Amino acid sequence: MPIADIFYDRNDGAFVFTRHDSHQRAFHQIGTMIFERAFPLVHNVENTCENCYTTLCREIGVEEIMDRHTGTYYERHLISYRDACKEFIGNVPNLALAHSCPAPKLLSIRLSLAELILRNVDNKARRGNRSDDFDLVLGELNERLKRLDFPFRYHGGVFQPAQDDLSEVELDTPFWSLVAAPVWKNVDDEMKDAFDARANNRDDAVFNASKALESTIKIISEKKGWSRGNEKGAANYVDNLVSAANGRFVETWEGEMLKAFFRDVRNPMGHGSGSGNRPNLNAHQTDWAIDFCIGWIKNLVRRSGI
């Protein structure tokens, strides 16, 4: 059984110093958007909720995340997984976990369940040609979370930190929609790695973002039939895009800009420093480099028509 990617594991320290009720309005709206706006777009809602509920239980190591029984001591009833998920995400139920789980971790678990359900519905909506409708739901959800100063937004299958205006640009829904197709999976994964690295103050954020950009260039070169098989690095793939024989997909000056980025920004991070100083970018340079990669990826994907 594959290991599920959940918010709880990726964001250790989220909601630190936050009371359980601090973001209750946001969680209620997350639940409302899922159950009243997203679920009508897909079928087998009960099955979706059961899969996500049991997956979360397995990943955090508990039998149940809440007591699903209602009624009196003499007449007990088991509520559906759909009702359990709705209660767990959107309300403040009598949680068995609450007695042993600190408030920040409990909030992370609740957001993990919402993330799993949104990801599942996203996949179903795209298979059912309802991706545009689902994107509208996500747009409203993220706008609501922004107005409530909630510290995360949902994009590309995960809740990502959204602490400032720059984050809003980076997590812009059109970017994730462009790379949602299976052909761009590596681009999607590598850019998510870049965001996670920066959120956790790791020094490989720019390297991962540049990998996403290089993957984009390689995919376009290969899908267009321009790759020769003897390319030795990103610069050679850029040459394929610049080539007049290939219709000058990008202009020469654009190719030089891309090559300069790989040469001066990415390459020093991809090689051992030896006895020299290890290359490091400050926070502002990191923001610029990630934004550079996102902008170019969006531009190239749109041009390609792939």
Q: Contacts for 248-257 with beta carbons within 8 Å, 24 or more apart?
A: 249/220, 249/224, 249/303, 249/304, 250/300, 250/303
CA 91/CA 24 separation, integer angstroms: 7
Type and span of the H or E element at 155: strand 152-155
Q: What is the DSSP string of 220-263?
A: HHHHTT---S---SHHHHHHHHH-GGGT-SS-HHHHHHHHHHII
What tokens appear for 236 in the block?
Answer: 């050679």
CA 1/CA 4 separation, integer angstroms: 9
What one-character DSSP code corresponds to residue 4? P
Q: Give the distance, in angstroms, between the CA of residue 240 and the centroid of all CA atoms in the same chain.
A: 30
Q: What is the pTM of this model?
A: 0.66
Beta strand spans in 5-112 (E): 69-71, 76-78
The residues that bridge with 158 in the sheet, in sequence order, are 155
Per-residue pLDDT tens digits of the chain, which is 306 residues long: 678 889 998 887 888 877 777 898 999 999 999 999 999 999 999 999 999 999 999 999 999 888 887 766 677 788 899 999 999 999 865 555 655 677 888 899 999 999 999 999 988 998 888 988 998 999 899 989 988 989 898 987 888 877 555 555 555 557 877 888 889 999 988 998 888 787 767 788 899 999 999 999 999 999 999 999 999 889 999 999 999 999 999 999 999 999 999 998 888 776 555 555 666 788 888 888 998 999 999 999 999 998
Q: Using the structure block, give the residue that is written with the tokens 């936050």.
A: 18
CA–CA distances in Å: residue 171 to residues 71, 142, 191, 246:
44, 10, 10, 32
Type and span of the H or E element at 132: helix 131-147
Which of 300, 298, 220, 234 has the alpha carbon at shortest distance from 266? Answer: 234
What tokens appear for 71 in the block?
Answer: 């009624």
CA 121/CA 112 separation, integer angstroms: 14
